[in-house]
A and B are shown apart, each in its own frame.
Chain A
Amino acid sequence: MSEFEAYRSLFVAESRENHENLVRNMLILEKGGSQEAIDEIFRSIHTLKGASASMGFMEMERLCHTMEDVFQMIRSGSAVITADLNNLLLACSDIIELMLDDVEGGGDSSSVNPDEQVNALKQWISKGAGKVKVESPKSGVIPAVVPDTIAEIIDETDRPRYIIKLKVADDCVMKDIRAMLAIGNLESLGTILSIHPSREDIDEGRFDGSLVLKIASDVGDDALKSAATGTDIASVEITPAQKDEPVTPLKVSEEIIPAESDKKQQAASQDKTREIKNLRVDITQLDHIMNLVEDLVINRGRLKQIAEQNKIKELDEAISTVDRSVSDLQNLMMNIRMIPLNHIFNRLPRVVRDVAQYDGKEVEFVIEGGETELDRSVMDGLNDPLLHLIRNSVNHGIESPEVREKAGKPRKGFVKLSAHRDRDNVIIELIDDGGGINVEKVKSKAVEKGLVTPENATTMTTEQAIEILFLPGFSTADKISDISGRGVGLDVVRRSIESLKGSIRVETTPGKGSRFELLLPPTMAIVDVMIVRINRRRLAIPISSIVEVADYKTGSTHRIGKSDAILLRDEVLEIFMLDDMMGRSEDRDILIVVQYLKRKCCIAVDLVEGKQEVVVKPLSSIIGNTRGISGITILGDGEVVPVLDVNTMV
């Protein structure tokens, strides 16, 4: 085992790919499938089997082997796949995933017991095998009748004849093939006149390890002997024969001492220099390096400030060099931490399939843009909310086939998950063509739960009603279902997304479907911000959400409802004073126009200090998530400054 320790992570990584490929193709197969899908499944299973055997993970090997047997039958057309079998195979693939988890954690897959699945598969094989003829003979099976002499090919030449007795080593795997190779080698040197067991027997696996043949050849016995000798050949006995001497089959009792194979030959040349091109690094180490880079960024800001204050030219130059290195280092670290979304997307088809089957729905699920990359820390937090949204779409969004037919829609619902990069953000879209959100139902439920008053409910716009979905303790499903319920509502989804400094939006058209849009920063740690001052206190606004900076003249504002607004180039924009956060100030001269998705608003500030790259640290769990603030940052002079979260503010 220990000699394979070095391959463990590679094994896990590739096996996970194979496992994903297996599940993906099983789902294709379930939809009708193709020979190609069966071939792919077979290949994945086969690879999993081979790799787990190589690593000594015998429980996993056992399960994969049995699954391979099943697919061998399906592939050869001697059995067909049924819904029950498909479910069983998917259950097996779940077991494989558990085993991979075990292996990843340092185990050897034996903590997961596949007995139930293996037995079920074997049962299926034996049932299926009733209809099919199974080739049973394997190496080691001796033909029942051993003839005394063997028919001989007539060779009229005067070449010398030899009888060669050949024994394949007992521990050889596939003895029959070893025999075929030896026969092939001998045949290139002369004419084989007779052979026992016959070629047909060997070809069909009826071979116990001993072979006798008569050959006419003029290359000499040494050459024949070396041609017959090879890997796993325990002994070769060669004797000159008379022209008409018959071949007598070797008796099984005949004793032949197997040759000792030289096992030590490789120990000598152990020390070879090898070039290593890839390294696997523990993620905690990577996080640690990231923290150090963040510290560097903070201290770089501090150094810059010192240099500016003291006007030291040499220090300035040195800092600008350090500056470049730190920026490069930072970019490099960002890239290292990026992972394609497929990492989590690939598991989702299975989720959709399970939910749809559970609910008796038919769903076509499409994934696009899985190659879009996200920082690992964002990815970690995205899995659960995404899973929840997908379940929601199938469970609440897509209608049952009957309802869909009545509504004039195709029986099969459509769910699409796509991702793309949009400037500094990654946008993940989940679209379904289901019934959409029933706004009236949402309203009445909200009233029932005491979340809004009946009066408010009647005057509520669709947008406001959708907002209710995100309130804690709200769920439109009549009872908590096994699938999408679990007491977790969209409020948790929103909170998770917001804790990633992202945001979620919903659009819905009754009868046509819904669209969930997640907007995420590709990375959480380091952002470009504009430092502004209000009431002499500083505030950081992410550059990515700023659209413009404009002059602000008091008096040009208009009172609209509860808030102030300004007319800026034919656009009416709400003004935020942030008095409650920063305190009142009379010197507001500048407007920072910020945008989130398509909504714009502006913040009135006293002064713009400049642009800076900062490390955003999350607020501690004691404070929790505060709307409007995504975290804090420490500037070069040591001041702690809040970072504005435009998404939750707008």
Chain B
Amino acid sequence: MGKILIVDDTLFMRTLIKNILFTGGHTIAGEAGDGEEAIAKYQELKPDLVTMDVVMPKMNGIEALKGIKAIDPNAKIIMCTAVGQEQMVKLAIKSGAKGYIVKPFQAPKVLEEVKNVLAS
């Protein structure tokens, strides 16, 4: 079970992920609404894992991922993605993302991915 930072620009999605993770027994380290906030929160909270939305205002998920990786090369980041964003996710994987989950989220899938990435 890990301490997780949730990054998404909508409260709706954050709540959805949060409840899934709660149910799975994880702790929520915090939430961020955009890429810049994600980097700041990562430094502050040092979570075990980050769920990162791709499309966000100010700074998108890929840039935020790179920013976090620059601070902590071992950071475990899961991209939250949707069908149609394959190219973006591939870019994220090449930049060091450890996993991905696809919207609409299915709780078992999300928990499985989180478990696997935490264990890696």
11 residue pairs from A and B, CB less than 8 Å apart:
A7-B12, A42-B55, A43-B9, A43-B55, A50-B104, A51-B12, A174-B89, A177-B89, A230-B99, A265-B111, A269-B23
Q: A51 CA to B104 CA in the complex, in Å?
A: 8
Check B104 against A54 for contact (C-beta < 8 Å): yes
Query: Main secondary structure on chain A at its contact with chain B?
Result: helix
Residue with the greatest number of chain B CB neighbours at <10 A, chosen from A10, A42, A177, A269: A177
Cβ–Cβ contact A174 & B100, under 8 A: yes
Q: Which of A10, A11, A51, A231 has most chain B Cβ within 10 Å?
A: A231
Q: How far is the CB of B50 from chain A (nearest CB, A)?
A: 16
Given A205-B86, A231-B109, A266-B23, CB of A43 within 8 Å of CB of B15:
no
Residues in A with CB closer than 8 Å to B112 are 231, 261-262
**Residues of chain B contacted by A181 (CB below 8 angstroms):** 93, 98-100
**Size of interface on A: residues with Cβ below 8 Å to B:** 44
Residues of B close to A11: CB separation below 8 A: 12
Judge if A68 is at the interface, Cβ distance under 8 Å: yes
Whole-angstrom CA separation of A493 from B75 in the bound complex: 60
Once the chains bind, are B57 and A43 in contact (CB under 8 Å)? Answer: yes
User: Is residue B51 within 8 Å, beta carbon to beta carbon, of the partner chain?
Assistant: no
Which residues of A from 224 to 256 have beta carbons under 8 Å from B?
Answer: 227, 230-231
Given contacts A174-B81, A265-B108, contact A14 B99 (CB under 8 A): no
> What number of B residues sit within 8 Å (CB to CB) of A?
39
B29 at the interface (CB under 8 A from A): no
Q: Given A174-B102, A177-B90, A266-B111 in contact, is the A10-B12 Cβ separation under 8 Å?
A: yes
Task: Give the residues in chain A near B57, CB-CB below 8 Å.
Answer: 40, 43
Docked complex Cα distance between A209 and B120 (Å):
22
The answer on a CB contact under 8 Å between B55 and A10 is no
In chain B, positions 35-69 with a C-beta closer than 8 Å to chain A are 55-57
In the bound assembly, the distance between CA atoms of A177 and B78 in angstroms comes to 12
CB within 8 Å for A184 and B93 given contacts A7-B16, A11-B12: yes
Q: How far, in angstroms, from A12 to B118 measured CA to CA in the complex?
A: 34
Q: How far is the CB of B10 from chain A (nearest CB, A)?
A: 5
Q: Is A547 an interface residue (CB 8 A)?
A: no
The answer to the question of A49 belonging to the interface, with a C-beta cut-off of 8 Å to chain B, is yes
Q: What residue in chain B is nearest A49 (Cβ atoms)?
A: B82
| In the complex with contacts A261-B112, A269-B24, A10-B15 CB distance below 8 A | yes
Chain B contacts to A: CB under 8 angstroms: 9-13, 15-16, 19, 22-25, 55-57, 81-84, 86, 89-90, 93-94, 98-100, 102-105, 107-109, 111-113, 116, 120
Nearest 8 CB-CB pairs, A to B? A54-B104, A173-B102, A53-B104, A231-B113, A50-B103, A14-B12, A269-B25, A230-B116
Write out the residue numbers on chain B whose beta carbons fall within 8 Å of the beta carbon of A174: 81, 83, 86, 89, 100, 102
- Check: A317 CB closer than 8 A to any chain B CB: no
13 extra interface residue pairs, beta carbon distance < 8 Å, beyond A50-B13, A50-B103, A270-B23: A14-B11, A40-B57, A43-B56, A46-B82, A54-B16, A174-B89, A174-B102, A181-B99, A181-B100, A263-B108, A265-B108, A266-B108, A266-B111
B93 near A274 with CB under 8 A, answer no
Against B, the Cβ 8 Å flags (1 = close, 0 = not) of A200-216 are 00010100000000000
A185 surroundings in chain B (CB, below 8 A): 120
Q: With an 8 A cutoff between CB atoms, is A176 at the interface?
A: yes
Q: Which of A47, A54, A265, A270 is B55 in contact with, Cβ under 8 Å?
A: A47
Q: A50-B13, A231-B99 are in contact. Are A176 and B86 (CB under 8 A)?
A: yes
Counting CB contacts under 8 A, is A336 at the interface?
A: no
- Kindly provide the distance from the CB of A492 to the nearest chain B CB, expressed in whole angstroms: 39
* CB proximity of A366 to chain B, nearest CB, Å: 23
B16 to A180, Cβ gap below 8 A?
A: no
Closest residue of chain B to A14 (Cβ to Cβ) is B12
**Residues in chain B near residue A412, CB distance under 8 A:** none
Contact of A54 among B11, B89, B105 (CB under 8 A): B105
Residues of the A chain whose Cβ atoms lie less than 8 Å from the Cβ of B105: 54
Is the beta-carbon distance between A177 and B93 smaller than 8 angstroms? yes
List residues 73-117 of chain A with CB under 8 A from any CB of chain B: none
B82 touches A50 (CB 8 A): yes
Measured CB to CB, the nearest residue on chain A to B84 is A68
A56 at the interface (CB under 8 A from B): yes
A47: chain B residues within 8 A (beta carbon):
9-10, 13, 55
